[in-house]
Chain A
């Protein structure tokens, strides 16, 4: 990394239109995060069509703004209605809502904003330091290493998302299968196209993502309407007191470290990092009994972790072209829609995209802080809009947005079908993120697999004789085996009872 790279980034991020779209991104992201049920994956997918026609750097600045803005927005809902706006804010409900009940909603939102700002800024610094050397290392990777990396991403996401690893893996398999639809990547033979011209180029990821993440979730809200009333609390005292600061600063720093490194791991992401940060904070606390009763560090640590995780998740996306979560999978798809080739060469071929994004994240985090401290009551008032009114608004934007990408009614149809499938998956606890990630990675994974086998004249030894791919594949196997072993150990006592 050279200082000229960062200066290039700031020269791009400070352009008026990029400042505007960074602001729009964090503003919309905060609103999306605050709406229960609509998470960052759905938000980024729904709003992606708005970025067409923008320069890729501008578009990525806005999408990233939505991503990390949503991380903060989820806090508002967690604190005021005891319902996480998105999964990364689940832990915040434990102490945030208790603080609100005690009349300290302002302090909870304030420390979340400050913690998010610190974590976001340090996370961006670490992203800036970690991504370029990783990309340089990855340039030496061949198809076997890429294949192994993508397998690792899929297995960790599948085993860590949702309630059952089997369900996650099954969804990843469905996504990979859907990824084989269309003209074969190497030999040009059509597969599963049923003579339909719309399927020759494969199934677009965006209609599938919008269907599963957004329409499926909206249908679930029609099925079981959200009836959440925000508590009527005056948001006073947003700035932390000296004691609040003393209690939280350790948690913010630990949450930042945990969030960034866990966020970098494929599949782990913001949700797991916020769980780990909360658990760590409780463990190191001299008064663990305070957790769950309104401890401010119980808000500061997970909120810092989920913001830092969103920076960490951008490391594999930008340096390797491999997303580790549903949201970054949508962002990867966006890069390809802008005509870019994600991967380690992105940093050298399109430095303006990476460095513009990094610089905009410094600015965006300041915007988020400025927005959220004085405007917390305004965002909180969004929660008073009945969700039943928001459903047609979001559905209308989603349908029009999907149409606008390729001016295709077929894609609208695909969105509706996957909306129905997403609803059924939601009911039965099948996570959509592994499916979307597998759909995005599928064609790349198959290409890497077949190129590897061509290189080795059909021998699978190539994956195990090259040290990097062998290590990465071993990690992927561990990612599947560890949860399986712990599940079997936890099952044993009940089986004994049943016998």
Chain B
């Protein structure tokens, strides 16, 4: 357990609290037969208990100066790269409607390799184009997956 686990525990407890709140609106069932709300209620309660145990264990460990006093060192540059990649993936999903699946994936891979990974231009373009070509042939041509088409017809 690390110091950050305290916050993760609280976050999980809040999440399970929200699911419990939602579960209370489901039919719990009778004494003889559980209904749709039975499992979500009990899972949420158990989840809250577990999450709080994680938070308390992490906090007590930190207070005792033991293993939990350690902090996870976060590399800000790395975190930025991941955030940008996730934003690129979200943008790709948005672009599918306009460009089609193959072209959107190609745009995303070019963005990933050129802007995030900073590969040499030729390598980045080669890897991205080759990947999309092979995937398109495999899934769309060979397996017959009806992928959304873009303005170029694929």
Contacts and interface: CB of A to CB of B under 8 A. Distances in A.
A223 B96 contact: no
Contact of B109 (A395, A423, A450): A395
Interface in B1-54: 1-2, 4-5, 8, 12, 15-16, 19, 22-23, 26-27, 30-36, 38-40, 43-44, 46-47, 50-51, 53-54
Contacts of A50: 138, 143
Given A392-B127, A428-B8, A446-B39, A400 B139 contact: yes
B89 A416 contact: yes
A486 to B, nearest CB: 15
Contacts of A189: 26-27, 35-36
Contact of B32 (A186, A395, A458): A458
Interface in B95-112: 96, 101, 105, 109, 112
A382 B92 CA distance: 29
A450 B128 CA distance: 50
Interface in A368-423: 388-389, 391-393, 395-397, 399-401, 403-404, 407, 409, 412-413, 416, 419-420, 423
Given A187-B27, A223-B81, A403-B145, A177 B43 contact: yes
A453 B32 CA distance: 7
B36 A184 contact: yes
B109 A396 contact: yes
A166 B132 CA distance: 41
Given A170-B50, A400-B105, A407-B146, A180 B90 contact: no
Give the secondary structure class of A's interface: helix
Is the interface on chain B under 10, 10 to 19, 20 to 34, or 35 or more residues? 35 or more
Nearest to B38: A450
Contacts of A403: 101, 145, 147
A112 B92 CA distance: 43
A457 interface: yes
A453 B33 contact: yes
A105 interface: no
Interface string A428-456: 11100000000000000010011001100
A488 to B, nearest CB: 11
Contacts of B139: 49, 400-401, 404
Given A223-B82, A427-B72, A180 B8 contact: no
Interface of B: 1-2, 4-5, 8, 12, 15-16, 19, 22-23, 26-27, 30-36, 38-40, 43-44, 46-47, 50-51, 53-54, 57, 64-66, 72, 74-75, 78-79, 81-82, 85-86, 89-90, 92-93, 96, 101, 105, 109, 112-113, 116-117, 119, 123, 127-128, 131-132, 135, 138-139, 143-148
28 contacts: A50-B143, A167-B5, A173-B16, A173-B50, A174-B15, A177-B47, A184-B26, A187-B35, A187-B36, A189-B35, A191-B36, A222-B78, A222-B117, A223-B78, A223-B79, A389-B123, A391-B117, A392-B127, A396-B132, A397-B131, A400-B101, A401-B139, A413-B93, A416-B90, A427-B74, A428-B5, A458-B32, A495-B64
